[in-house]
C-alpha cells in the first residue's frame, strides 16, 4: 500500500486544453432480440476526462461499452476525433469486470500477461526480454512486485491493477473500465482511482468507467452520466448526484453531504 501515506484526495487541476481529442457518441441505440437496451444516448468524452457511468443493473452500461468497443451492432454514430478534428479509429484499452479466478490455477501474473501481449507459448519458461517487458508494463500501475504471484492469490485491487496494466499495453487513447471498484476494499479503491488520475495525465487519455460506488465520484470523476436505457442526467458529479433523477432511479434520499455510500 505505498499510496496510503499520500493524501488520498489530492488532485492536480487540469489545464483546459481546447481542441484536443474527443469521443462523440450521438443518438446511440442498441436493440437486442427486439428489446430496446439503449436509445438516444448522446454524450462526449474529452481527452484527459474521467467520466463515470452510473445506473442500476440492466441499465445498459455494458452494452454501451460494447458498442464503443465495436463488439455489438448499434444505431447512431460513435466517432473519435483527433486533436486536429480528424476522425480516426481510437485505440481502446478495456478492463473487463474482474471474474473470480480459480484460486488453485497455477498461473502467475507473468504467464497471464505474457500470453496476452506476446506470441511466446507460455507453457514454456518465459524468456528474459519478455519478462522485462512485462515488468515495464506492470510498473505503470506500480505492480512490479506482483510478477511472480499466482493470479488466484491476488487481492481484488491487485487483480484490477494487473488487468489495468494489460489494458495499457499498448497505451490506448480511451480507457474503459467495467466496474473496476467491485471486489476492491476501500484502501484499494483510492489507490486505483489515484492511479487512474495519474495515468490520464501521464498518457493523455480519456477514461470511462462504470461504478456502483458513489462516494468516490465527487473526488475523482469530472463528469457523471446517469444511464437507464437512455441518459437521464449528465454533468458534474455534484449536479447529477443531487438531481431528482438520481434519487428516483436509486429510490433513495441522500441526506448526507458526501453523496451517500455504496448502493
Partner 1 sequence: MSFWYWLVSFLPFEWAAPGTMLFMKNALLGVLVITPLFGLLSTMVVESRMAFFSDALGHSAFTGMAIGALCGLSQPVWAAVVFAVVIAFLFTLVRQKTRMASDTAISVFSSAAVALGIFLSTLGGQSFTKFNTLLIGDILSVAPREIGLLAVILVLLVVLWATSFNSMMLSSVHQALADSRGIRVVWKSFLFTAAIAVVVTVTMSWVGLLVINALLVLPGAAARNIARNLSQYHLIAILGGLVCGVGGLLLSYYVGASAGASITLLLAVWFFVTLLLRGKQ
**Contacting positions for partner 1 (CB under 8 A):** 69, 71, 94, 96-97, 99, 101-102, 104-108, 110-112, 114-116, 118-126, 148, 150-151, 163, 166, 178
Residues 6 or more apart whose Cβ sits within 8 Å of residue 16:
none
SS3 for 49?
Answer: coil
Instruction: Report the distance separating Cα 151 and Cα 115, nearest Å.
Output: 13
Decide if 196 contacts 207 (C-beta within 8 A).
yes
The CB-of-2 to partner 1 minimum distance in angstroms stands at: 25
Find out whether the peptide bond into 170 is cis, omega within 30 degrees of 0: yes
Instruction: Report the distance separating Cα 115 and Cα 123, nearest Å.
Output: 9
The CB-of-104 to partner 1 minimum distance in angstroms stands at: 6
The CB-of-87 to partner 1 minimum distance in angstroms stands at: 22
Query: Whose CA is closest to 183, among 95, 106, 62, 113?
Result: 95
The CB-of-77 to partner 1 minimum distance in angstroms stands at: 22
Residue 107 or 263: the one with the smaller Cβ distance to partner 1 is 107
Beta bridge partners of 213: 262
Instruction: Report the distance separating Cα 259 and Cα 23, nearest Å.
Output: 28
Residue 78 or 236: the one with the smaller Cβ distance to partner 1 is 78
Residue 13 or 125: the one with the smaller Cβ distance to partner 1 is 125
The CB-of-147 to partner 1 minimum distance in angstroms stands at: 10
Residue 104 or 244: the one with the smaller Cβ distance to partner 1 is 104
Instruction: Report the distance separating Cα 243 and Cα 258, nearest Å.
Output: 14
Cα 93 to the chain's mean position, in Å? 9
Residue 94 or 209: the one with the smaller Cβ distance to partner 1 is 94
Residue 192 or 231: the one with the smaller Cβ distance to partner 1 is 192
The CB-of-47 to partner 1 minimum distance in angstroms stands at: 22
Amino acid at each position: 500500500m505505498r499510496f496510503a501515506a499520500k493524501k488520498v484526495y489530492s488532485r492536480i487541476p487540469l489545464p483546459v486544453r481546447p481542441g484536443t481529442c474527443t469521443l462523440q457518441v450521438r443518438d446511440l441505440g442498441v436493440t437486442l432480440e427486439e428489446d430496446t437496451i439503449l436509445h438516444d444516448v448522446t454524450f462526449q468524452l474529452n481527452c484527459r476526462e474521467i467520466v463515470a457511468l452510473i445506473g442500476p443493473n440492466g441499465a445498459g452500461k455494458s452494452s454501451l461499452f460494447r458498442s464503443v468497443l465495436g463488439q455489438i451492432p448499434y444505431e447512431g454514430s460513435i466517432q473519435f476525433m483527433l486533436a486536429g478534428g480528424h476522425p480516426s479509429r481510437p485505440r481502446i484499452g478495456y478492463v473487463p469486470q474482474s471474474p473470480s479466478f480459480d484460486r488453485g490455477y497455477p498461473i502467475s501474473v507473468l504467464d497471464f500477461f505474457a500470453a496476452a501481449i506476446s506470441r511466446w507459448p507460455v507453457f514454456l519458461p518465459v524468456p528474459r526480454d519478455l519478462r522485462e517487458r512485462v515488468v515495464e508494463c506492470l510498473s505503470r500501475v506500480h505492480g512490479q512486485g506482483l510478477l511472480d504471484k499466482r493470479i488466484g492469490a491476488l487481492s481484488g485491487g491487485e487483480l484490477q491493477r494487473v488487468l489495468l496494466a494489460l489494458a495499457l499495453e499498448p497505451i490506448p487513447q480511451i480507457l474503459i473500465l467495467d466496474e473496476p471498484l467491485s471486489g476492491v476494499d476501500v484502501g484499494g479503491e483510492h489507490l486505483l482511482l489515484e492511479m487512474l488520475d495519474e495515468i490520464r495525465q501521464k498518457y493523455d487519455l480519456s477514461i470511462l468507467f462504470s461504478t456502483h460506488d458513489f462516494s468516490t465520484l465527487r473526488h475523482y470523476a469530472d463528469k457523471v452520466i446517469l444511464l437507464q436505457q437512455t441518459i437521464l442526467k449528465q454533468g458534474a458529479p455534484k449536479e447529477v448526484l443531487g438531481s431528482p433523477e438520481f434519487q428516483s432511479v436509486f429510490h433513495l434520499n441522500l441526506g448526507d453531504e458526501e453523496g451517500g455510500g455504496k448502493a
